[in-house]
Structure 1
């Protein structure tokens, strides 16, 4: 392990010792570990998960950027070459291989923490939850992976691959076990606020997060043709709905004390916004554009959230400049740029995606959870039926608006239990009310008008709003939802090499690092069009 370092934290927090040079470092070598206490490693591990998931340090090191292309949020701009794999889905063993390598590195840190459960039981319980979170990312992109024999460092450098469906079932076992571990922890084993950069030592919130993660996992595998699996999911859903500690009540975010200093900025902002001390945006700021499809979902539905996401561009029509939001089609051969007759839209600087160098990073959106709960209710996996589903559906939209319009000064606003009593003074609530009123006749917004049957019924409308809420911030979850439900039907260019009717891939290929070191264990016959076990709806 690299020398211990001091984590920068916000003014309200104390400085904490962690296990890497920088809280954004995702390149630790698990085979060079020396003894380190679990409490010293936790903050660094959580910050690394956030960087891997949301922002990354460089190309090919985070899930949401890759899945933003896959699921129809992003396309390439006309000012940069490359992005061939993102535009054609002609993946190779080098495509996004750092996702695999960096996630397993991160899992090694959590594994070290969990091994010290006798001394640090609450730290170990958090690590147990986060191991599920990270292993889930791997299974959802690769299918079968090393699991039961993973994380053994030099004692097993060629681990066997476990069946993805079996791993999914163990996820539920591990999450239930983590909650039980927290309940059993003795006094004097608390996690400090500086160590826990997610919930500041609030272990009840960790239990709620574990429950919401269980819901995410069970919904993933809820639409297969496997009768035994469907029975299992229904049973686990019934148990989950009555969980004592409930579910998350606000966005789950990581905040290690991001600051406008080198190696301390929010990783997404650092990559697509401004480097520390810079007055000009990074080059990657101009590399990607929103797709015309995602822009249309805002513009065509009178959705003001678009004003918080993208800069206004322009098109010149009959020698007349027309201002508006200008995107690209996913895989378009000649996408627009930022000069001449067409000025494409980019992320709004200071908006939702580029809120600032000190903005937190998201691990799970409250809106995702509420839409998932609404889906479970409308499909009979939770009790409550369409009446309960409507409430959670509307609360999901409201939570998305509050997230979208949130400012740093309103960051303390809790958007769970307070949704019903929030006022127009809460950032985003007035805009939410306007959106609902403007779409009274729109079945994509008015839950009562959504069909009860056909094309997945009300589930399709729930997934549509969930897709909008997860734009860029949680693209990984939208990509999984699309693969299991084929919703929504976003547009793909004919440049795609996919043989599928939707012209999309279904997974990543095992990375070249595995091909070079563990080829005998890699499942055979796998292409980027081989579906994950829960992907059966096209």
Structure 2
């Protein structure tokens, strides 16, 4: 499920709820607070809008990516016919990235100007008034946004898109090659770094990501450049050297205090500032989303110290596991195990210890299990820490939704360095994997305090954390080269819970892990190598034709086509 949440366009709303104070900007809330008027908005209001829309965009794209790499639940047994990834259901992501559409095709009357449209509107005033840091934040966000669009859709409009200053804007923009958009993003980031380091007439009134720490923004720019080089290493012979040059310079995100993330609040109405996954699942009717059996099984079997933070179990047993099957609440508990699951030794339908989720591709109807299924926990959604209380959720439980949307994390940088190291020698990735694991675990554990009702005596001890790390190390040492890549992939994916963008890229780039639970359908069709263009784009743009299918590979994905590529369908 994709949750649509109100775009927040004012300092008075966002900063008060999320950051604590803001006294100089007012919003006439007799007007529609969900829609900024571009000709009347101040640079600060536009920058607020850009920052919040960016968090929305990352949430939505992160869910799409996560569903495809089993750190989210994919509802659909045919890859070419996944409801959430249909052209009509991708309009929201597209409109938030580009220009919005005055709510005509957005659910619940949501209205957005769009990230790139707001950035173009901000530019003249920012240049005229030497608001270099306003510009720099928008340039970073633009770079991340356009790269992500390429990663998921392939060639997309850019050079002809959002011609805000043109007397005659291009209404049917052509797509640009993905490779050229990547080059444009790198140029944007170089300019952003210079702008972050410039003297300014006025600072942004709100920096929702780093609170005005411009050194951290520079690190984020360099880290995004590292990500870009890593993603295009299959088509860029100089990418590894460029990546390593940034590492040698040392000016990148390497401590969790520097993580780039968006902080949500606890306010539930006017506006709903809670983490979207919390707001979707902590409802009077219980949880709305299913959690992925592959991920819960992997973490449960490994005694992963993050599992009580990621997932909250409402019950202590799943029908068909420790208790009798129940056709009403979990029909598959009475069904035979599919042969391809039996052949591969994959878990099917139910997990022990109350981890009630769904298999990859399971598309059965929704039974009355809103107060039975496992739901999002305290990380990253600001929910409940699982202290084995085994009770149904209530609205407002746990951290009340004060979670985060992770975007660029120090732990991810360690896993990125592991990948680079392992290209030359798979064994050399171990110290980076263990470093990334340690940072991820420590970050996740820090979220336990969000749940004031939690019994943190159930939190993993230092010894249990060490034992888990030692187990990963021993498994890595004992594995062959492919097994080592599997371990890197698994640990990276676990750390990415909450944002699957980099996981989807990693999987297409490397073909690992090979341990994925396959789709429940024995013949689900070719794996999705890029998403279909959204319906609004192809229906309203005479310059573009629909994609032939979702097997089209983005420019940096030069691996063999599916199913030759080792994709676990």
Change in 2 beyond 3 A, CA 1:101/1:447 = same
State the Cα distance separating 1:282 from its structure 2 match: 5.4
Q: Residues 143-188 of structure 1: CA distance to partner in whole angstroms, max 9, x if unpaired? A: 00011111214611111210001211222222122112222x1254
Q: Residues 247-270 of structure 1: CA distance to partner in whole angstroms, max 9, x if unpaired? A: 352221223755344314224145
| Aligned partner of residue 253 in structure 1, secondary structure | strand
Partner Cα distance (1:266, 1:492) in 2: 33
Partner Cα distance (1:170, 1:310) in 2: 39
| Aligned partner of residue 249 in structure 2, secondary structure | coil
Partner Cα distance (1:124, 1:267) in 2: 27
Runs of 5+ unmatched residues, structure 1: 55-61, 77-81, 275-280, 412-425
CA RMSD of aligned residues (A): 3.7
| Aligned partner of residue 406 in structure 1, secondary structure | helix
Partner Cα distance (1:141, 1:19) in 2: 37
Matched, 1:480 2:490: no
1:113 is aligned, of 107, 122, 127, to 122
Does the aligned pair in 1 maintain the 2:265–2:401 contact within 8 Å?
no
Matched, 1:89 2:74: no
Matched, 1:326 2:337: no
Partner Cα distance (2:207, 2:492) in 1: 28
Residue in 1 that maps onto 2:342: none
Partner Cα distance (2:522, 2:121) in 1: 42
1:70 is aligned, of 68, 71, 84, to 68
TM-score of the superposed pair, with normalisation by structure 1:
0.77
Residue in 2 that maps onto 1:240: 246
Partner Cα distance (1:430, 1:2) in 2: 37
- Paired residues, what number? 478
1:15 is aligned, of 22, 31, 53, to 22
Matched, 1:140 2:166: no
Change in 2 beyond 3 A, CA 1:487/1:11 = closer
Q: Residues 428-484 of structure 1: CA distance to partner in whole angstroms, max 9, x if unpaired? A: 9964652442463555x6544444x3x3x644422220101112x111221121121
Q: Residues 208-258 of structure 1: CA distance to partner in whole angstroms, max 9, x if unpaired? A: 001111111111112x2x4xx2x2313422432233633352221223755
Change in 2 beyond 3 A, CA 1:441/1:74 = closer
Residue in 2 that maps onto 1:363: 407
| Aligned partner of residue 254 in structure 1, secondary structure | strand
State the Cα distance separating 1:4 from its structure 2 match: 5.8
Residue in 2 that maps onto 1:175: 189
Does the aligned pair in 1 maintain the 2:309–2:448 contact within 8 Å?
no
Change in 2 beyond 3 A, CA 1:517/1:65 = same
| Aligned partner of residue 12 in structure 2, secondary structure | strand
Change in 2 beyond 3 A, CA 1:155/1:406 = same
Residue in 2 that maps onto 1:303: 304
Partner Cα distance (1:102, 1:19) in 2: 24
TM-score of the superposed pair, with normalisation by structure 2:
0.73
Residue in 1 that maps onto 2:261: 253
1:52 is aligned, of 47, 52, 57, to 57
Matched, 1:199 2:206: no
Change in 2 beyond 3 A, CA 1:288/1:339 = closer
Residue in 1 that maps onto 2:394: none
| Aligned partner of residue 407 in structure 1, secondary structure | helix
Matches within 5 A, 1:55-454: 62-75=60-73, 88-89=81-82, 92-104=86-98, 105-115=114-124, 116-118=126-128, 119-153=130-164, 155-183=169-197, 185-186=198-199, 188-192=201-205, 195-222=206-233, 224=234, 226=235, 229=236, 231-243=237-249, 245-250=251-256, 251-255=259-263, 259-269=267-277, 271-274=279-282, 281=283, 286-312=287-313, 313=315, 314-316=317-319, 320=323, 323-334=353-364, 337=367, 343-348=372-377, 350=378, 352-353=380-381, 354=383, 355-379=399-423, 389-407=429-447, 431=461, 433-438=463-468, 440-442=470-472, 447-451=476-480, 453=481
Residue in 1 that maps onto 2:518: 492
Does the aligned pair in 1 maintain the 2:318–2:356 contact within 8 Å?
yes
Partner Cα distance (2:467, 2:152) in 1: 39
Partner Cα distance (1:339, 1:2) in 2: 33
Partner Cα distance (2:301, 2:321) in 1: 23
Change in 2 beyond 3 A, CA 1:106/1:397 = same
State the Cα distance separating 1:27 from its structure 2 match: 6.5
| Aligned partner of residue 261 in structure 2, secondary structure | strand
| Aligned partner of residue 492 in structure 1, secondary structure | coil
Matches within 5 A, 1:512-523: 512-522=535-545
2:493 is aligned, of 467, 491, 494, to 467
